[in-house]
Chain A
Amino acid sequence: MSAKLMIDRSHGQHLFREMLRIRRFEAKCMELYQAQTIRGFLHLYDGQEAVAVGIMQALDERDAVVATYRDHGHAIARGLGMGPIMAEMYGKLEGCSRGRGGSMHLFDRASRFLGGNAIVGGGLPLAVGTAMADQQLHPGAATVCFFGEGAAGEGEFHESMNLAALWKLPVLFVCENNLYAMGVPLEVAEADTEIIHKAKGYNMPGEQVDGMNPVAVEVAARRAVESIRAGNGPWFLECRTYRFRAHSMFDAQQYRTKEEVAHWKERDPIVRMQAWLLEAHLMTPAELDEIEAAVDTEVAAAVAFAEAGTWESVDELERFVTMDEVPS
């Protein structure tokens, strides 16, 4: 695993643990979904964990995050508790969005997590706006905006990139290029399959990174955020990644071969990180067992939290359609 970043024992294990937390949390979600305990759409992030985890290393509490409908990984990596996220999947009052958002709309004011957005490209203009506000009110703060490569086909992508570059707004655009927009392969959807080229079209610095490697993502994110904090305007990262599972739960994946999926699974960011940490003696087998046990305990606690949660009274149905005041 190549890295210009100094990876010590604790940081290496941290990256591994964060990715594993997402993976195990989602494995439980899948199980609960099959048992019909949680419903709606469920878009799993597995395969892409290195992106969310790598990016979040470069952020602190002043920054904002705009996510997509595949947002469990973003939310967990950003520090939302697994309990409130799981309760949200259940639709319980204790959910991070009070059970009104579900899997695709995780929100958390405390961590400036501005929600999963279920409209492809819909989050980009929003990120431009929070960056406008930060530029004026909180100089140095950055907004990170995640989106898939499918968003590059939307007008909002181009409008947002242009305005952010024009006004030198503090936004980090993170394209998670997992090669498929639902079932549409990259080469069927894009005239130029190098998404990174689009940054040049807006006079925006950017780079393409290995999205299966959290260290590579972190290195790139740190460089980007440093530049953004210095007031140099937006930055674009294209993270080449892959989702191991289907787009959603009703997807037979007829658009890709088993061989292709198997090929990418060889690059599984968690498996490779684990092997590398063990090999480099940055993690002992005993520590690995401890991490796995702790993650499993955390996931079980999240399920227990969600199970013990309450159903909001239907009397509250129309609450928050409009607000009585702006929350501070």
Chain B
Amino acid sequence: MNEQAPDRMTYREACRQAIRDALIRDPRCFVMGEDVGLYGGCYAVTKGLLEEFGPERIRDTPLAESVITGAGIGAAIGGLRPVVEIMTCNFSLLALDQIVNNAATIAHMSGGQFAVPLVIRMATGGGRQLAAQHSHSLEGWYAHIPGITVLAPGTIEDARLMLAAALADPNPVLIFEHVVLYNAEGELDPAITSVDIRKARIRREGRDLTILTYGGSLPKALAAAGELAAAGIEAEIVDLRVLRPLDNETIYASVGRTRRCVIVDEGWRSGSLSAELAARLAEDLFFELDAPIRRVCTREVPIPYAAHMEDAALPQVADIVEAARGLVRPE
């Protein structure tokens, strides 16, 4: 029995501890990105690491996403274990060639002669009034690509433990950290020292419907479940955690049990991860459903600056509650 008290920390601190641990554990591991060193990271995740590990292992780079990512791929092939930070996933579009055409293809294109054990961390999502070029949720796009693993830590525990699992994986792994979560606080059970990056997790059990979600929408879904419970509706919350490959087993088991499903995804609805999930459920679970599948997604606009407009664009607790009520208690 573990007697240690749980550690209380922020999501940001959990990310930092994860990186620090990786640097201590493996001399091949290093961090590379824009402003990760002297500045301490745009979201302060790498603050203090330069002082502790020095400029060889905390490498400030020029503003050049493509070569940062491509050099990470080459370094991984060459025997190092790079953790590349891309400031926001919006900027990752400048590195799309390297991610999609190199990181995701080299293992297959070389007939298995080379692997790319690279980790790319990036911030994602809206909610901080950063407007359209800093607020988008593009993880669903990356989940489209075979050859990469896409993770979305939605809890302190995942923020703390997913990185080690990602670094142990021989394949390129993209980790999307939601900007609104960085300040979230939570408790970490010291007895838990690793997580499985192949499985979704049930964060709340419920009999009446399943809410599928991940990342920054997870706290909103949990809040919605609280409101629904007050109205007598028990929602089960499945945290996808891994956006590629999707854990069909956990998802299908939950939806098969509750027979109703709401998908909450901060990506835009058209061509989104929510669309993929809905299609899978329609293909494989249609006869077990008692109601149509509902989706709560970001409105189809570039995210605006003004707070009230941004709020209106993003999925909110009230939207989730409304979608759920519509399924369980149709008027």
Contact = CB atoms under 8 A, between A and B. Distances in A.
Given A122-B101, A322-B107, A323-B107, A108 B113 contact: yes
Interface in B52-83: 56, 61-62, 64, 66-80, 82
B112 A125 contact: no
Interface of A: 64, 95-101, 105, 107-109, 114-115, 117, 119, 122, 124-134, 136-137, 143, 155-156, 159-160, 162-163, 166, 319-327
Contacts of B113: 97, 107-109, 327
Interface residues of B, number: 42
B114 interface: yes
B111 interface: yes
Given A101-B109, A126-B71, A133-B77, 6 more contacts: A109-B114, A133-B79, A163-B67, A321-B147, A326-B115, A327-B115
17 contacts: A95-B111, A100-B108, A114-B114, A122-B97, A122-B98, A122-B102, A124-B67, A124-B70, A128-B67, A132-B75, A137-B79, A155-B66, A156-B66, A159-B67, A160-B71, A163-B62, A327-B115
A143 B75 CA distance: 12
Interface in B97-131: 97-98, 101-102, 106-115, 117
Interface of B: 28, 56, 61-62, 64, 66-80, 82, 94, 97-98, 101-102, 106-115, 117, 146-147, 149, 170-171
B112 A319 contact: yes
Contacts of A126: 70-71, 73-74, 77, 98, 102
Nearest to A322: B171
Nearest to B147: A321
A132 B67 contact: no
Nearest to A110: B113
Contacts of A64: 78
B16 to A, nearest CB: 23
Contacts of B117: 326
A133 B73 contact: no
A199 B82 CA distance: 27
Given A127-B74, A129-B74, A137-B78, A100 B111 contact: yes
Contacts of B79: 133, 137
A44 to B, nearest CB: 21
A63 B75 CA distance: 14
A108 B149 CA distance: 25
Given A134-B78, A163-B67, A115 B110 contact: yes
Please provide the 9 A-B residue pairs with the shortest distance between their CB atoms, ordered closest to farther: A129-B74, A125-B70, A133-B78, A98-B111, A159-B67, A107-B110, A159-B64, A129-B71, A320-B112
